[in-house]
Structure 1
Amino acid sequence: MSDDALTPDGDAAVVQTDHVVGQDNIQTQIGPFGLDIHNPVFMISGLAICAFVFYALALPEQAATFFGWLRPAVTSTFDWFFLLAGNIFVLVCLGLLISPLGKVRIGGTEAKPEFSYPGWFAMLFAAGMGIGLMFFGVSEPITHFSESVASGAGSADSSAPLAGAAGNPEEARRLGMAATIFHWGLHPWAIYAVVALSLALFAYNKGLPLSMRSIFHPIFGERVWGWTGHIIDTVAVFATLFGLACSLGFGAEQANAGLEHVFGLPVSDVSKVVLISAITGVALLSVVAGVEAGVKRLSEINMVFAFLLLLFVILLGPTLMILSGFVENLMAYGEYLPALSMPFAREDASFSQGWTSFYWAWWISWSPFVGMFIARVSRGRTVREFIFCVLLVPSLVSVLWMTAFGGTAISFVTAGVTEIADADLELKLFTMLEQMPLAAISSFIGIVLVIVFFVTSSDSGSLVIDTITAGGKVDAPAPQRVFWCVFEGLVAIALLLGGGLEALQAAAVSTGLPFAVVLLAACYALVKGLIQEPKAK
């Protein structure tokens, strides 16, 4: 690895040797095709991913059987662990928010924020959710509502959250929205906050490389520059890559469904492979262009389209219901939160295993990607300011999004538009938009949003994985970023052909499980590192 690291004022400086004894273990080396290889993380990760892609494409039926078994096996066995871990992340963040450690400033006591609040909030939200909001914004609230009003939790084959709403549409609506917000509110953002704050602290305050291994220096000392650190970074690469592949798969499914719904493009494996390949090609151009010219520009386009679509639904949908529902849904979330987050003795095992466990594993596998991005844009904030904004503001935007899209869809269903509830998950958004004015335009914007979210996830993820495998360098050669961008697309294709969405979700769950253990240890390292820092006045 290069001796360069980011200092609090953003310049490259030599890392202090008392932090990096044994640094020779992670020296980068220029390999074939100009790759700046982080030995051995790059080689282990790259070869393992190549082997996985070959297996899934060469033996698709065997892969489909394996992934079909893997996800339910993991979630049914470890649902309690995912729920417990998620609660711990929230409690750690809330503890830092109210403790004296909240006065620590990222980058040192004299550091100043680089971005205004509006710009910072926009980047936080764009980084954390993306394709998921498009795919689940309508489908999840409608699914929970339908399951709850039909039979409630505990019934055979029911995945309804909790019980007590059967036959009661109003209570089923409250419960369905509360369960949806539970999956998109404080818990996922607490996971991101733990990773982002840890990376920012050890990179900008301690002068260590911007890599997952640096977080564990308070626990393992100089061993983080050896095989202990190699294992941590390799697990982070696997988690990030499979978490991204899951998102790309959701995006391909929804984009293909939308194109079929609007333009008649057939839904097939061939169409999805072509979509993933084409969008990966666009992501490659963005990756080569760099952060400023590529990722930033696409993210800005993304936010404009997302805001326009949200505004469209609020103004042309049931506006008063959406605005009043925002407050009502927040109250329902607070009411049901203790029961929904309970890790043991649940009456709704199908819900916690089929929905919550998957989500928590997915967020955890995304966390190196989102955490590194948030860390890079949050220098100059105090810990208290960081936790408050990273937890609260994006969570409130998620509540507004789910209230607008999910609440509108539920209002249509209760009015008798049953085709929304009957549609496949990837089609529910477009089926709802079809009930509103200017359906062709709004559906087209929805397709564009899915595709652009797809591209920004791919190119941003490539940059993050490249940074991890290059030992924390943020300016590794372009061929290396191209390598990871290509293989993200190949992994998504391999998983789709080797089991569809079930395989994509199984991959995210299986990599999220070991990385959850890593993040629990990171909580301890974060607190220990903050205790050693001077407090801002």
Structure 2
Amino acid sequence: MKKNKIFDFHYPVFIPAALIVLLFVSVAIILGEPLSEVFLELRNLIYDKVGWFFIFTVNTLLVVAIILAFSKFGKIKLGGRSASPDFSNFAWYSMLFSAGMGIGLIFYGVAEPVQHFASPPIPVNNEVDAARQAFKFTFLHYGLHPWAVYGMIALAFAFFTFNRKLPLTVRSLFAPLLGKKIHGIFGHVVDVLAVIACLFGLATTLGFGAQQVGAGLNFLFGIDNNVKTQIIFIGITTLLATASIVSGLDKGVKILSVLNIRIAVIFMILMLIIGPTVFLLDSFIENIGMYAQNLIELGTFTEVYAETKWQNNWTIFYWAWWIAWSPFVGIFIARISRGRTIREFLTGVIILPTLFSFLWFTVFGSTAIHLELNEIANISGAVSNDISTALFEMLKNFPFSSILSVIAILLIISFFVTSSDSGSLVVDFITTGGKLDAPVGTRIFWALIEGLLAISLLIGGGLGTLQTAVMLAAFPFAIILLVMTFSLLKGLRRERLKNLRNKVKRNARVQNSQFEKYIDDNEEE
């Protein structure tokens, strides 16, 4: 690894990853819109042939996460017995949540429940059943399953980095299976795949954010929501993200993450107050109950007996998105989670963000459906024309809609910047061989690449191209996640046996010390 003041590369990973992404960007920009037709065929092929595999992978990770949290391994502390947390609980929750789902909540908070309400995935008899089903599937997509994906890979990163003292890279996750071979060609390939998955997952999120900000600017100021506007937005926020990552994790990223969660909470509380408050509180309780009652059925739903392709565009896409996003979120969460037990870690990463997501979707989604049920607004009609307008179409039915829309845009930008800068830091960790403090030049390079990739995907066909890119990146990484889970279980078993041996040795020393003191006391008498 070559070292200098500005850049620091792990060449077997950095060069292939950079060349692959830059080649893709070049092709997307040169071909433009025709690329979307090719991507559409690829997306449908992946949906039809391997959609079941994404469902299997995500469910496996959730089951293993639950078992680990309540098993004998739950007491193992990340970093060892004497490790203590680097961040307060609030800062920790803020950072992991901002990295995990920020823009997704804003983009789909209204759009997804309304779309499922207008076009139920499974046929229903009336609007009430349609509303209930809408939240069952929305909660599935933002509930325990995605956070289990994040939690398991983050746990693996944290364990092998802090307990086994291995580099913070994907190759380290396979140390119990491959030993020193992780430093060879296999390790290089795995890290390159992780970088590509991470970058395409980030680019998809940034593309969604750009589309929604464009819709907000159109609503407030009449600015056309076209690719040009979205590219300008991506360019500006990429520069902001670059400034943030130069400040580092403890300053720029931490400050923005805490700011994100505070603005989000204020925004949600405002909507809870000015919206149908009692209706929303009732909905929150009922929605959680329906989700809990139907969790197994929803989680294993494959649409095998239906003739529609609904699941391809929703559940399968979501699982692919979370899987592609997982190396970034996993490394980032691991980096900020030293000093916590496995039980505390998995509970914090899976349960709390899930509950916040449920509350968010209830406040915004149920408010929109309330407007539909009472024939106050036709939000579903607007969403069918342009999904990115959903939030703003709902807000215009309430007092201070312009102010609320400005808050929404600021929140999107803030989440956008946080996702970009934390994503750049994570890619830096991988492409510098696991260094936790990557050089500034490398951080800037990957921040700019992320923005360029998002722009190229928008030019190459918009939403459909974004979805296909995620699918292509996620499939090989889903296989990696399953093998990683087996490797982690093997590593945890060794860790527990080591802890038990150390405990026996400590007890033996204490007993020997007590016995020697007893002999000395009796000799004095």
Amino acid at match of 2:378: E
Query: Could you say which residue in structure 2 is the equivalent of 1:181?
Result: 139
Unaligned runs of 5+ in 2: 504-525
Query: Could you say which residue in structure 1 is the equivalent of 2:464?
Result: 502
Trace 1:201-216 onto structure 2 (pairs within 5 A). 201-216=159-174
Trace 1:260-409 onto structure 2 (pairs within 5 A). 260-342=218-300, 344=302, 346-348=304-306, 350-409=309-368
User: Which shifted more, 366-375 or 281-290?
Assistant: 281-290
Match of 1:522 among 467, 471, 484: 484
Query: Could you say which residue in structure 2 is the equivalent of 1:129?
Result: 101
Distance between the aligned counterparts of 2:33 and 2:387, measured in 1? 24
2:302–2:311 Cα contact (<8 Å) kept: no
Return the offset for 1:118.
2.8
1:73 pairs with 2:45? yes
Distance between the aligned counterparts of 1:277 and 1:121, measured in 2? 28
Distance between the aligned counterparts of 1:94 and 1:290, measured in 2? 33
Query: Could you say which residue in structure 2 is the equivalent of 1:29?
Result: 2
Compared with structure 1, are the counterparts of its residues 508 and 345 closer, same or farther at alpha carbon in structure 2 (3 Å cutoff)?
Answer: closer
1:80–1:343 Cα contact (<8 Å) kept: no
Distance between the aligned counterparts of 2:86 and 2:246, measured in 1? 25
User: Which shifted more, 255-264 or 347-356?
Assistant: 347-356
Q: What secondary structure sits across from 2:2 in the alignment? A: strand
Trace 1:65-104 onto structure 2 (pairs within 5 A). 65-104=37-76
Amino acid at match of 1:395: T
Q: What secondary structure sits across from 2:285 in the alignment? A: helix
Amino acid at match of 2:368: A
Return the offset for 1:416.
0.7
1:184–1:398 Cα contact (<8 Å) kept: yes
Amino acid at match of 1:351: W
User: Which shifted more, 42-51 or 383-392?
Assistant: 383-392
What RMSD over aligned residues (CA atoms) do the two structures have, in Å? 1.6
2:303–2:311 Cα contact (<8 Å) kept: no
Amino acid at match of 2:2: Q
Query: Could you say which residue in structure 2 is the equivalent of 1:470?
Result: 432
Return the offset for 1:66.
1.5
2:94–2:260 Cα contact (<8 Å) kept: no
Query: Could you say which residue in structure 1 is the equivalent of 2:186?
Result: 228
User: Which shifted more, 240-249 or 90-99?
Assistant: 90-99
1:196–1:372 Cα contact (<8 Å) kept: yes
1:238-278 deviation line (CA, Å, top 9, x unaligned): 00000000000000000001000111111111111111111
Q: What secondary structure sits across from 1:532 in the alignment? A: helix
Q: What secondary structure sits across from 1:437 in the alignment? A: coil
Compared with structure 1, are the counterparts of its residues 344 and 312 closer, same or farther at alpha carbon in structure 2 (3 Å cutoff)?
Answer: closer
Trace 1:229-268 onto structure 2 (pairs within 5 A). 229-268=187-226
1:254–1:427 Cα contact (<8 Å) kept: yes
2:110–2:390 Cα contact (<8 Å) kept: yes
Return the offset for 1:343.
5.3
Match of 1:105 among 77, 80, 83: 77
1:467–1:473 Cα contact (<8 Å) kept: yes
Return the offset for 1:44.
0.4
Q: What secondary structure sits across from 1:49 in the alignment? A: helix
Return the offset for 1:63.
1.6
User: Which shifted more, 433-442 or 94-103?
Assistant: 94-103
1:422 pairs with 2:381? yes
Distance between the aligned counterparts of 2:11 and 2:329, measured in 1? 24
Distance between the aligned counterparts of 2:279 and 2:287, measured in 1? 11
TM-score, normalisation: structure 1: 0.90
Amino acid at match of 2:263: F
Distance between the aligned counterparts of 1:139 and 1:304, measured in 2? 23
1:1-59 deviation line (CA, Å, top 9, x unaligned): xxxxxxxxxxxxxxxxxxxxxxxxxxx2148x942110210000011111111111111
Distance between the aligned counterparts of 1:337 and 1:370, measured in 2? 24
Amino acid at match of 1:29: K
Q: What secondary structure sits across from 1:61 in the alignment? A: coil
Unaligned runs of 5+ in 1: 1-27, 149-159
1:444-480 deviation line (CA, Å, top 9, x unaligned): 1001111111111111111110111001002121111
TM-score, normalisation: structure 2: 0.92
Amino acid at match of 1:370: V
1:183–1:359 Cα contact (<8 Å) kept: yes
Distance between the aligned counterparts of 1:200 and 1:221, measured in 2? 18
Number of aligned residues: 495
Match of 1:480 among 423, 442, 454: 442
User: Which shifted more, 167-176 or 256-265?
Assistant: 167-176
User: Which shifted more, 423-432 or 111-120?
Assistant: 111-120
1:379-421 deviation line (CA, Å, top 9, x unaligned): 1211112112211111000000000000111000111134311
Distance between the aligned counterparts of 2:128 and 2:446, measured in 1? 47
Compared with structure 1, are the counterparts of its residues 197 and 177 closer, same or farther at alpha carbon in structure 2 (3 Å cutoff)?
Answer: same
User: Which shifted more, 173-182 or 34-43?
Assistant: 34-43
Distance between the aligned counterparts of 2:376 and 2:223, measured in 1? 25
Return the offset for 1:67.
1.5
2:91–2:258 Cα contact (<8 Å) kept: no
Distance between the aligned counterparts of 1:269 and 1:346, measured in 2? 37
Return the offset for 1:344.
4.7
Amino acid at match of 1:295: V
